[in-house]
Amino acid sequence: MKPLPVIGACCAPGAQPIAADDAQALADRFKALADPTRVAIVNRLAGADEVCVCDLVEDFELSQPTISHHLRLLREAGLVEAERRGTWAYYRLVPEAIDGLRVALAG
């Protein structure tokens, strides 16, 4: 997924129209966050430099395949990135993507 350009506030009073491609990219990211588990995963990642999938499985008391499914959707939306080390993958937020959402909502 391409990075969102700094488009200013899309959803604040007085917002200027945004390009269709930018609107789609924003919608895809918000769609990825339209699940309470994924919001909680992003929140957990926001509090750490990186988190092992094994820790997320333990924290959320969900199966590893379920956590991996949520992480895949977040990764496809460009919100998280992963690094594999041995058996486990370690995830971290993509700061630019999170900042892009913040700017889009608040300006």
Q: What is the pLDDT of residues 83-96, one digit of tens each?
A: 999 999 999 999 98
The answer as to whether 3 is a domain residue is no
The answer as to whether 7 is a domain residue is no
Question: pLDDT, tens digit, for every residue of 26-80?
Answer: 889 999 999 999 999 999 999 999 999 999 999 998 999 999 999 999 999 999 9
**Residue 65: DSSP 8-state:** H
pLDDT for 11: 66
Residue 94: CATH number of its domain: 1.10.10.10
The answer as to whether 83 is a domain residue is yes
Cα 30–31–34 angle (5° rounding)?
A: 90
Overall number of domains in the chain: 1
pLDDT for 66: 96
Q: Residue 27: left (phi > 0), alpha (psi -120 to 50), or beta? A: alpha
The answer as to whether 52 is a domain residue is yes
- Structural domain range at position 31: 20-106
Q: What is the mean pLDDT of residues 12-16?
A: 70
The model's confidence at residue 10, banded by pLDDT at 50, 70 and 90, is: low
Does the pLDDT of residue 6 top 70, yes or no?
no
**59 vs 19, more confident:** 59
Residue given tokens 């945004």 in the structure block: 18
The answer as to whether 4 is a domain residue is no
Does the pLDDT of residue 4 top 50, yes or no?
no
pTM of the model: 0.81
